Chain A
Amino acid sequence: MGKQKVIIFAFVVLMVLLFFLGAKKIRSLQAQIGEQKEKIAKLDQRLDRVRSLEESLEERRMTGKVLHQIPRVQDPIANKVLVEKFLKSFLSKLGFEAEVKVDGERKSKDFPDLIGVNEVPLRIGTQNYSSYEQVMNMLEEFRYFPFAVEILTIGGTDVAVPGNLRIQLKYYVIPEDS
């Protein structure tokens, strides 16, 4: 009977051990599955977003609703000058006598790295404008070019450029090698 008790005890210990290890392994696998499902759900959402974005972009391409770009050359300084000249002439056509500051081209963080879009920060300052309508007209005209307004202020000092109406912009550039 003593021997039998020892055997039963040994088996019980083994079974407890088996339960412990087995349950631990199962719990770990279940946790991994849970994590993986969450990841997949997020990826699914991302895929949906990317798909709809792709569809929208394709549609945009098909309809020809694309932006005009300022001509570019190989030399970055020349590009800077080109942008400045273009903007000054663009604003002049809209009736603005403005001061334009062009900063160096850099990689844009508004788009995924994979796409590879650069941005050129721009500051525009003008002392006077004839009407609100003139300002609205200018902002609407920006939409035909890859300009994104970052700051718009009238009478404020948020943008480091002299003038009553100050605008900070980003000009998005798609490098030719991308």
Chain B
Amino acid sequence: MLLCVDFSGEKVNVLLAKKKKEKIEVVESLELDVSELGDYLTSKSGKIEEIRVSGLLENTFHKILSVPDMKSKMLKEAVESEVIKAFGNDYQFKQQDLGEVPGPSKVNRKIMTVGMKRDNLEELSKLFADYRVKPSIFTTYPVALQILLEKMELLSEETLAFVEIAHPNSRIVIFQGKEIRVTRELPLAERGKDPESSALAKDIYRTLLFYTESFPNQKVTRLAIAGNSTTSEILENLRQKAGLEIIPFSPESLFQGDISEIHPGCLGLALVDLGHFSFGLIPYSVQEKRKMKKTMTLFSFIFLSILLVFILAIFRLSLNLKNLNLRQGGITGEIKLKEERMKELSLELVSHFIETSQPPWSEILLELAAAVPPGVSLKSMSMKRTRKGWMGEVCGIADGADEINSLVLVERIQNNFVQSPLFTGTKLVYKKLEGKRVAFKIIYQLAV
């Protein structure tokens, strides 16, 4: 259910309604002392889905500003500076562009501003926060009223004054089109002291005169009166003094249910379309909380996104690793199987090993014989299988006609080894003259 709360002096008007497709069904409409509001909220806490609040008329402002047309951001800043100039920095306010108006040199924009003192807004917010209730909107009484009168099609280019007569405070709001021009609270004397309510009528009249002075070309032509304390004497007094057309105020067509106690502020709040509402004031503390919540949500989202990316990446890599492990297991298994099979082929394996590890002896021995030139005799020849391959060495004596010839013979045998395709890494590691003979040692590797 929707709870609309309208503060008026020491009193608070309350409307409990159910939102239906076309109309709003009023469940309860009553007037409470501010001190009774807490108990009321507690008693209805389970049923209330949404709360809308209009604050006290005092400490609010409704002002029309005319500023030169400019870009929206600059326009906003200009309005802000105008509002601060006019009311100081203690107000929280909202603005609505009412359209273009012809200015002295160029086109101006008419901006409607509605504000409420920060402290009052915070107090209101706190009042509800104490009962763990979060109103969806805070606004002012004239704004709520304007919505109601718009729905009732009472607002037009003709100026309309709306008076809500209630005890102990009455309220008057003067509208012109979409503008809220004058708002005022009027004290209502007790019946015994002013039986004809002539004091209130005078106050209303004075307000109308003030309006005429402020807007000389625009007279208030219509007057709508509501409120539980309205009497025929007041109506008669006003008709006589102001000479205005008093138009009937009957919002019943917009609502269903029992609205014996009509609270125009509450009815207006109930009609607010949150999607298109410009004057919803949000207390600074609530804004901070929302900002905080937004920040938390944003950062949580970023954090979770990054976490998700990491989880996906890790999951993918783990899956890859798992697949590789499986593949490794498969290959190892296959190798094992093959090796098992090779157990049965061990004789063939030995045969294969001998065939691949043994050099072609005949070729090597013949090549070795061919490498030894006449005049050189080999003392020893050996070949040994090592891990690096077959290593060999030959020791011999070169016996030439003289020392030079012997050295040439050693060089020749070395060259023969170097040029042979069967030997690699040939090195002459020892050479010694023994008279005219030369003793030598050559090492080599078999190229097989």
Contact = CB atoms under 8 A, between A and B. Distances in A.
Interface of A: 3-4, 7-8, 11, 14-15, 18-19, 22, 25-26, 29-30, 32-33, 36-37, 39-40, 43-44, 46-47, 50-51, 53-54, 56-58, 60-61, 65-67, 69, 110-112, 114-117, 132, 135-136, 139-140, 143, 146-156, 158, 172, 174, 178
Contact of A44 (B313, B331, B366, B381): B331
A3 B361 CA distance: 91
B346 A150 contact: no
Contact of A152 (B314, B353, B357, B383): B383
Contacts of A39: 328
Contacts of A47: 331, 334-335, 338
Contacts of B324: 33, 36-37, 40
A40 B310 contact: no
Contact of A26 (B291, B317, B362): B317
Interface string B290-334: 011001100110110011001001100110110011011001101
B49 interface: no
Nearest to B381: A154
Contacts of B343: 114-116, 178
Interface string B371-385: 000000011111111
A25 to B, nearest CB: 6
A153 B394 CA distance: 10
A151 B358 CA distance: 11
Contacts of A14: 303
A65 B355 CA distance: 11
B306 A151 contact: no
Given A22-B310, A40-B324, A114-B342, A60 B381 contact: no
Interface in B143-202: none
Which of A14, A19, A116, A154 counts the most chain B CB atoms within 10 A? A154
B325 to A, nearest CB: 7
B347 A174 contact: yes
Given A51-B338, A57-B348, A117-B349, 14 more contacts: A4-B291, A29-B314, A29-B318, A30-B317, A33-B320, A36-B321, A40-B331, A50-B338, A53-B352, A65-B351, A136-B365, A149-B361, A154-B380, A155-B378
Contacts, number: 187
A40 B327 contact: yes
B130 interface: no
Contacts of B339: 50, 112, 114-115
A50 B338 CA distance: 7
A110 B314 CA distance: 45
A61 B302 CA distance: 68
Q: Is the interface of B mostly helix, strand, loop or mixed?
A: helix
Contact of A153 (B292, B317, B380): B380
6 contacts: A7-B299, A114-B342, A132-B366, A136-B366, A143-B358, A151-B383
Given A36-B328, A60-B352, A67-B354, A7 B296 contact: yes
A111 B380 contact: no
A156 B355 CA distance: 26
A58 B339 CA distance: 13
A136 B363 CA distance: 9
B303 A155 contact: no
A148 B320 contact: no
B369 interface: yes
B341 interface: yes
Nearest to B341: A54
B59 to A, nearest CB: 26
A71 B317 CA distance: 58
B347 A153 contact: no
Given A36-B321, A54-B341, A111 B349 contact: yes
Given A3-B292, A7-B296, A29-B321, A117 B346 contact: yes
Contacts of A46: 335
Contacts of A36: 321, 324-325, 328
The 7 tightest CB contacts between A and B, nearest first, are A155-B380, A153-B382, A22-B310, A139-B361, A29-B317, A11-B299, A156-B382
Contacts of A152: 361, 382-384
B345 interface: yes
A114 B335 CA distance: 12
B295 A7 contact: yes
Contact of B353 (A7, A148, A150): A148
Nearest to A69: B347
A69 B328 CA distance: 39
